Chains A and B, each alone.
Chain A
Amino acid sequence: MVKTLTTVCMSVLLCPILLIAQNSVDDSTLQPSEDKGFFEFIVGTVKGRLAFDKTLLIVTPGSQVTIILKNSDEMIHNLLLCEPGENVPGEVGRLALALGAEGMAKQYVPDSEKVLYHTKLVYPGQQDEFTFTAPTELGDYPYVCTFPGHAQTMKGILWVTDKIDHAEREEDHDGEELEIPDEVKKKYILKPKDQAMVIRAGVENTPSNCIAVGLPSRVHYVFDPDNGQVLYGWRGDFLDVGPDRGWSLDRGGQPCHTLGVRFSVGANGCPFHIGTIDQQPQIKFIGYQREGFPRFDFRVDDLTVSQTIISDQSRHGLIYYYEVEGATEDLYFKLDTSKVKLKSDVGLFQSGALMIPKDKASSFTIDVTPLL
């Protein structure tokens, strides 16, 4: 056990050196077969996607090769090295599946001459490895995970070659399977045309429970329903939702990117205070109206507040149109005035806050312009 651990630790430490040097390194625990060299590869799993993180391993014929499968995913995987053949991974995958009830016990390794070497099933957080002498016959030896369903996407190639220069193939292959092509990425860039887009999704550097709104004016914002406030705005394209949708390929669920330059709207918690300037109200979100400029409805203590947010193309900044039901006291509307300039059709500014008399609270407009 101790020896195994030591070997694993050393392997992990040695790996970067080996990958760069790709030739023999003196080490008492690993003996190269004659002078053909040895190679060691740590093949991991890509987070959120059924794919190996290395899809091309290059070795020389007759060398000693160790492949370590290191599973950082949340499900079970294995790695089977197979005989050459474009259709072999699919074929081996199908044979593994046909093991049916016996699959787990057999590590999903089918009885097939096409399978050369394999790991056992590797559970999340675990690793397994195998060492072998590389074939003397040059060619592409595919490797694949044969856990049910995985063979479709989880595979790579061990290239046995005597060529000295691998640059061309490496370049051709580099990350090809793992990177999302630009043409596909484009499909997930949202650009509002003639109507607003309202997208509930995680957005980078933004609390998770937020609502992103894209307007045809190309001025967009994020609304924070927990505090009844706009968090920030930005100008440009709207949102890249690819990371959340996984480009129709992986698990997704990663934060979306706002496309453009963000500007402050002086967000500082719920802007409303009832009766006194420092009062801290309870906010309860009610919902939003999608048509036209979106409207957000929420409770501020006993008040029902509706906020319609308007923008125009000519400038940064947003206009908030509020309707308030149930005001029995004066309201104070406060934003961070070191970041924004406020203008309103009602009320007076008192100690940095806008005081809205209760008799004028039923509807009013506040114009928020960021200070540059």
Chain B
Amino acid sequence: MKYLTYCFFISILMMVRVLYGGVVPDGYRVETISTPEDVFLEVGGIGFLQDGSVMFCSREGQVWQYKNKQWSLFADGLYEPLGLYVDPKTDDIFVVQRPELTQLIDTDHDGKADYYKTVGQGWGISNNYHEYAYGPVRDSKGNFYGALNLGHDEESGNLVHDSIMNRSAKYRGWFFQINTTGEFVPWASGLRSPCGVGINKDDELFYTDNQGDWVPTSTLHHVVKGRFYGHPASLEDHPDFLGKDLNAITVEKYDTLRTKPIVWIPYGELANSPGNLAFNETQGKFGPFEDQIFIGDQTLANVMRVVLEKVQGEYQGVVFNFVNGLQCGVIRNRFDKDGSLWLGQGARGWNSVGPKPFGIQKIVWDGKTIPTEMHAISLTDQGFKITFTKPMRESELKDLSSYTIKHWGYKYDSHYGSDKMNITSVDIKKINVVNSKTVELELPLVTDRVYHIECRVKADDNSELKNRIGYYTLNRLR
């Protein structure tokens, strides 16, 4: 009877049903990859070998190789690896496991790793289930980077101002570097549940965090060495705070110490638990979104698109939905050399809105169809400029009723998440149609707010925008 119930439970998890959405921009399609039979392949990381093989590490500790549509087991017995990196020149394979960064070496070339080499370690784990380690990404000099989740164990660490998550072991809540000599270098602090790490071609580092205590809604951060990103638990290992009572420091003080996210990702609308960043550096193979960033979400089973710009020397930018209605929550994504975006999925323990408990899909562009989307939203002196992927109807571009704009803030404290604070509708003062693909909206600008910019303009070819809302994080004015 128990077994039947369990099977029923699992079958509910597996039942195919479309829950909501199903947005896919024109010209893109979602392909589903069959995973090996009887394997619970919840993807923790994705990488590509030069021969076209795709490597996946799984939360259950295995690494699977997918080559010519055949599956083979490359490594196993790893400790919940949540990130995999393949060196593009040497095919060297690295994973971040809970306790360390490891290279998996197939010395006898039989298709199975036989040497598990410790590349770097230096952080603590205390057997609390939430002590995830994420990464690795690698810069052009060969250094690796990753991020360490806080623990969720009130017995093994201080709960600063009644926080929910804590520093259950050394360097929890830190961004780290493993340098080329294998040394662990604490890089930045204040992280909570930093499931996604990313690096662009200029070696700039980023991470996403999941909404929770001290994280009012999910976030995207630009990582700069030495900065503090908001969750105080990690400060226990910070040299400037050694021996200090973190509860004696006020929330207001922490607020002044932190670096704010470069993009707020509204909870429930766009993401609840964002994953890693995939930089579209495919030279046009993934459509008209070159150099933009793609991020999946574990709960809402969607993929978002982020466009950043620098204002007063710091990044800020806009996030859109891109694709939703996927079969399962997405925690990993990565572009292959053909410009397809592979999605690694899994939602064990938190569930996703998709019908499957794990899986692999990929988003492929047909190489010709231009989707109808806002290409970007950027800040001007007096408002925002929206650029489109194709010519739009001029009559609608200049019509005030084509847009709905509002903004809100978030409250920073030790509570789990924050409501949208002071949601304020914005009246557009003036519209300037620059050309058929560009419009400027003049409106009042207020910093520390997320601007919800909804646009209902149709394209000249009669198509409608598949994703109508951009969320622009306004930290700084031009």
Binding site for B on A (CB under 8 A): 48-50, 74-76, 94, 97-98, 100-101, 103-105, 123-125, 148-150, 152-153, 172, 176-177, 179-184, 197-202, 208-209, 225, 244-246, 248-255, 285-291
**Are the CB atoms of B347 and A149 closer together than 8 Å?**
yes
A97 to B272: give the CA distance in the assembly, Å: 13
Chain B residue nearest to A74 (CB atoms) is B152
**Are the CB atoms of A76 and B417 closer together than 8 Å?**
yes
**Are the CB atoms of A50 and B351 closer together than 8 Å?**
yes
Among B126-134, B194-202, B312-320, B386-394, the stretch that binds chain A is B126-134
A246 to B351: give the CA distance in the assembly, Å: 13
The smallest C-beta distance from B12 to any residue of chain A, in angstroms, reads 5
The secondary structure that dominates the B interface is loop
The smallest C-beta distance from B213 to any residue of chain A, in angstroms, reads 8
Point out the residues of chain A lying under 8 angstroms from B117, CB to CB. 286-287
**Are the CB atoms of B212 and A74 closer together than 8 Å?**
yes
Mark B114-154 against chain A: 1 for CB-CB distance below 8 A, else 0: 11111001001111111100000000000000000000100
Point out the residues of chain A lying under 8 angstroms from B164, CB to CB. 74, 124-125
A153 to B5: give the CA distance in the assembly, Å: 12
CB within 8 Å of A: which of B357-384? 357
B415 within 8 A of A: yes
**Are the CB atoms of A184 and B126 closer together than 8 Å?**
no
The smallest C-beta distance from B441 to any residue of chain A, in angstroms, reads 21
Point out the residues of chain A lying under 8 angstroms from B20, CB to CB. 94, 97-98, 100
Point out the residues of chain B lying under 8 angstroms from A181, CB to CB. 2-3, 5-6
**Are the CB atoms of A124 and B118 closer together than 8 Å?**
no
**Are the CB atoms of A253 and B351 closer together than 8 Å?**
no
CB within 8 Å of A: which of B9-32? 9-10, 12-13, 19-20
Point out the residues of chain B lying under 8 angstroms from A286, CB to CB. 117-118
The one of A148, A150, A251 that contacts B268, using a Cβ cutoff of 8 Å: A148
Q: What are 7 inter-chain pairs, A to B, with CB distance below 8 A? A: A105-B419, A184-B6, A200-B99, A253-B129, A253-B130, A253-B131, A290-B113
B187 within 8 A of A: no
Sorted from nearest, which 4 A-B pairs have the closest CB atoms?
A: A253-B129, A251-B349, A149-B351, A287-B117
**Are the CB atoms of A246 and B114 closer together than 8 Å?**
no
A200 to B348: give the CA distance in the assembly, Å: 20
A286 to B105: give the CA distance in the assembly, Å: 13
A270 to B20: give the CA distance in the assembly, Å: 57
Other than the given A153-B351, A200-B99, 15 more pairs (CB < 8 A) read: A74-B164, A149-B329, A150-B351, A177-B9, A200-B77, A201-B79, A208-B127, A209-B125, A245-B40, A248-B348, A251-B349, A252-B129, A252-B349, A253-B129, A290-B113
The one of A76, A125, A245, A291 that contacts B60, using a Cβ cutoff of 8 Å: A245
**Are the CB atoms of A248 and B12 closer together than 8 Å?**
no
Given A200-B99, A254-B129; A179-B348 close (CB under 8 Å): no
A104 to B12: give the CA distance in the assembly, Å: 25
Point out the residues of chain A lying under 8 angstroms from B353, CB to CB. 97, 148-149
B416 within 8 A of A: yes
Given A183-B3, A252-B349; A200-B97 close (CB under 8 Å): yes
**Are the CB atoms of B78 and A200 closer together than 8 Å?**
yes
A153 to B13: give the CA distance in the assembly, Å: 8
The one of B19, B118, B129, B419 that contacts A94, using a Cβ cutoff of 8 Å: B19
Which interface class (under 10, 10 to 19, 20 to 34, 35 or more) fits B? Answer: 35 or more
Chain B residue nearest to A197 (CB atoms) is B77
The one of B12, B59, B272, B349 that contacts A152, using a Cβ cutoff of 8 Å: B12
The secondary structure that dominates the A interface is loop
**Are the CB atoms of A202 and B127 closer together than 8 Å?**
yes
B300 within 8 A of A: yes
Point out the residues of chain B lying under 8 angstroms from A50, CB to CB. 349-351
A101 to B268: give the CA distance in the assembly, Å: 6
Point out the residues of chain A lying under 8 angstroms from B158, CB to CB. none
B475 within 8 A of A: no
A14 to B361: give the CA distance in the assembly, Å: 51
The smallest C-beta distance from B64 to any residue of chain A, in angstroms, reads 16
B330 within 8 A of A: no
A229 to B283: give the CA distance in the assembly, Å: 51
Point out the residues of chain B lying under 8 angstroms from A285, CB to CB. 118, 121
The one of A198, A250, A255 that contacts B348, using a Cβ cutoff of 8 Å: A250
Point out the residues of chain B lying under 8 angstroms from A198, CB to CB. 77, 116
Point out the residues of chain B lying under 8 angstroms from A172, CB to CB. 1
Point out the residues of chain B lying under 8 angstroms from A179, CB to CB. 2
The one of A149, A182, A200 that contacts B352, using a Cβ cutoff of 8 Å: A149
The smallest C-beta distance from A289 to any residue of chain B, in angstroms, reads 5
Chain A residue nearest to B355 (CB atoms) is A152
Given A104-B268, A248-B40; A199-B9 close (CB under 8 Å): no
B267 within 8 A of A: yes
Chain B residue nearest to A121 (CB atoms) is B417
**Are the CB atoms of B126 and A208 closer together than 8 Å?**
yes
Chain B residue nearest to A101 (CB atoms) is B269
Chain B residue nearest to A176 (CB atoms) is B5
Point out the residues of chain B lying under 8 angstroms from A75, CB to CB. 212, 350, 416
Mark B387-420 against chain A: 1 for CB-CB distance below 8 A, else 0: 0000000000000000000000000000111010
The one of A150, A177, A197, A255 that contacts B127, using a Cβ cutoff of 8 Å: A255
Chain A residue nearest to B348 (CB atoms) is A246
A201 to B416: give the CA distance in the assembly, Å: 30
Point out the residues of chain A lying under 8 angstroms from B5, CB to CB. 176-177, 181
The one of A103, A253, A291 that contacts B80, using a Cβ cutoff of 8 Å: A253
Chain A residue nearest to B123 (CB atoms) is A209
B261 within 8 A of A: no
The smallest C-beta distance from A88 to any residue of chain B, in angstroms, reads 14
Mark B16-59 against chain A: 1 for CB-CB distance below 8 A, else 0: 00011000000000000000000010000000000000000001
